[in-house]
Amino acid sequence: METRRSTREASFAFAGRYGVVMAWLVLIVFFGILLGPSFLAVSTFQTIFGTQAVLLILSLGLMVTLVAGEFDLSITGAMSISVMVVGVLNVLHGWPIWLAALAALASGVAIGTINALLVVRLGINSIVVTLGAGTFWSGVGHGLYETTIPGVDTRLSTVVNTRLLGLPLGFYYAVAVTVALWYVVALTPLGRYLHFVGANRTVSQLSGIRVDLIRGGSLVVSATLAAIAGIVLVGMLGASTPSASSAYLLPAFAAVFLGTTTIQVGKFNPWGTFVAVYFLITGITGLQLYGFSGWVVDVFYGGSLVAAVALSRIFARKSTA
Amino acid sequence: MESKMTPLRRAVRSPLVVCAPLVASMLLAGCGSSSEPKSSGPTNDKCVSTAKVQVEAAKAPVRFTFDGPAFDASAARGKTVHWIATTGDLPFTKAVFGGFEAAAREAGLKVIFFDGRGQTSEQLRGVQQAVAAKADLIVLQSIPVALMGAGVDAAKQAGIPIVEAFNADSAAPTSPGATASVSFAYSQVGRLLAASVAVGSGCNATSLAINSSDVPVSVPEMDGVKAGFQELCPDTCKLEVRDALIADWSTKVGPLTQNAVANQNVNWLIPVYDGMVQFVTPAVRQANAAGRVKIASFNASPGIVDDLKTADSPFTVDIGAPLGWTGWAIADQSLRILARATPVGDEKIPLRIFDQGNAKDIDFKGAESDMYGGSYQNEYKKLWGLE
């Protein structure tokens, strides 16, 4: 009797932990049967994996702040500045592309540092600071140049779009960031401190953890990764445009929160975020190939998030019942 | 305690820090150029008569003037076209795509629609998805080709031609990366707006154009307005240009209008797209300027153009192009490429001015032919060898 119960609890725990991964596989099988070769073609999966590098890098940065118990709503503002800095400096001012990209990266560090100072030093809520900062930097992005700047040095596109094993290099950069963050968050003392600070700031402080440094650092990492996402985006587009970044905010939050329902259930975790990004895009691609368009993307994003979080909670309860 | 503060901490804690965004805004705003409208001059009879000729000609029902050349479109039968729209929820997109679908049905094309949702990343994914699905041709609707770098490269490698729509003036050369283009004569739209304002003001206009610089085709349209004023009334028509990005129309266009009409000399407003008119008209009314200020715009969008019939409305002129017709024009260009005929330079999509004079006799809610006149389906089918 006891054995059967513990087996049941273990099954629920497994379902809770790998539910989204299994749902992802089910989705692939479902659309494979429904659409046949048009969905199962290698080129479809190349599109699925090859187009989400920007969202994944941006989401991973956001995840770091959420682990530390902060919010960063300025990621798309930082990304917008990065996108425009590359275009303005490289195309309009003739800077070498590597220097323009470096300047874009520095802009991310600077934006993150300003956010950190306002949140940590002045004690302002990170939602308020980053909401304002995101709007501010998006406005500055439009102010730098109001429309598209085509003709960014093609070497950046080569560095992002060159294919390796059928996938663009941008995908591998995103995977590299995932692995690096997984290592830091899951396997180092810094990762544990991040979780402690996120779970209870006061206790962490009393335990001797440098809470302010970790909170501020998480905001700097987030903005810096947003800037990297911006550089990758310019490489994908071959141009800079101030309006390209704003659409990423909600998908990034959806991916990070959906990521908490898998791999390390209840925790913001890099591999969970990775799975969430590709689960969502697989479903959307399948629906679009089936003939749906427009509204179905929002329905799938929102519906999947709520359903996954609810199911994860149910399985978690059953596994501990 | 205070004396122990570092300079940085002191600076951050200083109340002056809250001024930083204000200073930044002022600095950025200062980078743009603006000039106060000058007072208007005397009426110019020659200007009025010249402008009137242009306006009256453009108020008449349109005619099919596109002359091909003809080609055999049967070679394109069964091929697949992927239509990547900038966003699917615009009535404009629905109307143009509706025309394209109808034409594609006649020609035996398969059509797949992808909604880019106004997001560059989605639009790029749409192009890459079309390449993965081995499309025979891709239509980029209102999406700059220069922004689809990786997608355009992939399409080029796969040998998939791209037709761009509404990215530049109809007379402009096709963008690098695209095989052909279809567009409106945006510079002519601008000239007709200038002519309408010249007629309406007796060539004595102090006008404000509300531009949307994030839309690439705003450039030729604004250039047309400026050129029109320069030709018709360089000394007596004043033009100031302000800007509101699409995403900010609902929040910025109203206040911007109220500020503009506070200047008692302003007598015409030119929002470059009539989607802005819904925010301009209430602002003019709230400023008690409806008797003095008139509005001219472009697109003749369903639901918006109807306001020309409203008594005492400041909305006076709306220029439009038949959207279903435009869908057939995009199909014409696509079929030429798929049938290995040479694409044309200009599909010659007509324009028509609607104003409070001719609006009362037009059913804006009826068929497109009721609004614009002219017939085009059979003309295109003849060109394609289907009739």
DSSP A148-161: -EE---HHHHHHHH
pTM of the model: 0.79
Q: For residue A249, what is the enclosing H or E element?
A: helix A249-259
Q: For residue A161, is it within any domain?
A: yes
Average pLDDT over residues A99-104: 96
Please, what is the average pLDDT of chain B?
A: 85
Instruction: Determine the pLDDT at residue B9.
Output: 45
Indicate the number of domains in chain A. Answer: 1
DSSP B44-97: -HHHHHHHHHHHHHHHSPP----------GGGGTT-EEEEEES-TTSHHHHHHH
Q: For residue B361, is it within any domain?
A: no
Same domain, B136 and B282: no
Q: Which of B113, B118, B152 sits opposite A293 (nearest CB)?
A: B113
Interface confidence, given as ipTM, is 0.77
Q: For residue A265, is it within any domain?
A: no
Q: For residue A273, is it within any domain?
A: no
| Residues belonging to chain A | 321
Q: Distance (Å, rounded) from C-alpha B293 to C-alpha B358?
A: 20
Same domain, B191 and B289: yes
Q: Flag the least confident range among A189-198, A238-247, B338-347.
A: A238-247
Q: Distance (Å, rounded) from C-alpha A96 to C-alpha A98?
A: 6
> What tokens appear for A231 in the block?
């550089």
Q: Distance (Å, rounded) from C-alpha B322 to C-alpha B352?
A: 8
Interface A–B counts its CB contacts (< 8 A) at: 123
DSSP B194-230: HHHHHHHHTS--EEEEEE-TTSTTHHHHHHHHHHHHH
> What tokens appear for B70 in the block?
């003809």
Asked whether residue A294 carries a pLDDT value surpassing 90, the answer given is no
Q: Which of A132, A239, A293 sits opposite B149 (nearest CB)?
A: A239
Instruction: Determine the pLDDT at residue A44.
Output: 85
Annotate B338-348 with b (16+ C-beta within 10 A) or e (fewer): bbebebbeebe
The whole domain housing A114 covers: 52-246
Same domain, B52 and B21: yes
Report yes or no: B71 and B385 within 8 Å, Cβ to Cβ. yes
Which residues, 6 or more positions from B230, have their beta carbon under 8 angstroms from its beta carbon? none
Phi first, then psi: give them for residue B365, nearest 5 degrees: -90, -5
Give B301 or B229, the one with higher predicted confidence.
B229
Same domain, B213 and B179: no
Q: For residue A149, is it within any domain?
A: yes
Same domain, B191 and B329: no
Q: For residue B67, is it within any domain?
A: no
Query: Angle at which helices A270-290 and A42-50 pack, to 10 degrees?
Result: 130
Same domain, B212 and B102: no
Same domain, B288 and B334: no
Give B44 or A68, the one with higher predicted confidence.
A68
Q: Which of A283, A294, A291, A285 is nearest to A44 (CA)?
A: A285
Residue with the two structure tokens 């394609």: B384
Same domain, B91 and B53: no
Each residue's pLDDT tens digit, A140-184: 998 898 778 888 999 999 999 888 988 999 999 999 999 999 999
Q: How far is A140 from chain B (nearest CA, A)?
A: 8
Same domain, B193 and B315: yes
Whether the bond between A251 and the residue before it is cis, its omega within 30 degrees of 0, is no
Q: For residue A224, is it within any domain?
A: yes
Q: For residue B364, is it within any domain?
A: no
> What tokens appear for A271 in the block?
């591999």
DSSP B184: -
Asked if B121 lies within 8 A of A140 by C-beta distance, the reply is no
Q: Mutating which of A45, A47, A84, A131 best tests the B interface, going by the most B Cβ atoms within 10 A?
A: A47
Q: How far is A230 from chain B (nearest CA, A)?
A: 12
Q: Which of A241, A250, A310 is nearest to A280 (CA)?
A: A250
Instruction: Determine the pLDDT at residue A1.
Output: 55
Which residues, 6 or more positions from A131, have their beta carbon under 8 angstroms from its beta carbon? A73, A74
Residue with the two structure tokens 């289907």: B386
Residue with the two structure tokens 């029109």: B228
Each residue's pLDDT tens digit, A4-32: 667 777 776 776 677 788 888 888 999 99
DSSP B174: P
- Chain B residues whose beta carbon lies within 8 Å of the beta carbon of residue A38: 133
Query: Angle at which helices A211-237 and A154-161 pack, to 10 degrees?
Result: 110
A291 backbone φψ class: left, alpha, beta (φ>0; ψ -120 to 50): left
Q: Which of A279, A286, A284 is nearest to A295 (CA)?
A: A284
Asked whether residue A293 carries a pLDDT value surpassing 60, the answer given is yes
The stretches of chain B forming alpha helices (DSSP H) are 7-13, 19-31, 45-59, 91-107, 120-132, 149-158, 186-201, 218-232, 249-261, 277-286, 323-338, 356-359, 368-372, 377-383
Each residue's pLDDT tens digit, A213-242: 999 999 999 999 999 999 999 999 888 988
Q: For residue A319, is it within any domain?
A: no
The whole domain housing B116 covers: 77-184+322-348+373-383
Report how far apart, in Å, the C-alpha atoms of B315 and of each of A175, B58, B221, B272, B298 are: 55, 18, 19, 13, 11
What pLDDT band is residue A3 in, cutting at 50, 70 and 90?
A: low
| Residue type, position A35, single letter | L
Q: Distance (Å, rounded) from C-alpha B98 to C-alpha B367?
A: 13
Same domain, B190 and B289: yes
Same domain, B83 and B166: yes
Mark out chain B residues that contact chain A at CB-CB < 8 A.
8-9, 12-13, 21, 24-25, 28, 31, 88-89, 112-115, 117-122, 124-125, 128-129, 131-134, 144, 146-150, 152-153, 213-214, 216, 243, 245, 247
Asked whether residue A73 carries a pLDDT value surpassing 90, the answer given is yes
Asked if A43 lies within 8 A of B31 by C-beta distance, the reply is no
Report yes or no: A107 and A78 within 8 Å, Cβ to Cβ. yes
Each residue's pLDDT tens digit, B291-349: 899 999 999 888 888 889 888 889 999 999 999 999 999 999 999 999 999 999 899 99
Q: For residue B55, is it within any domain?
A: yes
Residue B180's domain is classified under what CATH number?
Answer: 3.40.50.2300
Q: For residue B50, is it within any domain?
A: yes
Q: For residue A178, is it within any domain?
A: yes
CA B73: distance to chain centroid? Answer: 30
Q: For residue B291, is it within any domain?
A: yes
Phi first, then psi: give them for residue B225, nearest 5 degrees: -60, -45
Indicate the number of domains in chain B. Answer: 2
Same domain, B107 and B231: no
Q: For residue A12, is it within any domain?
A: no
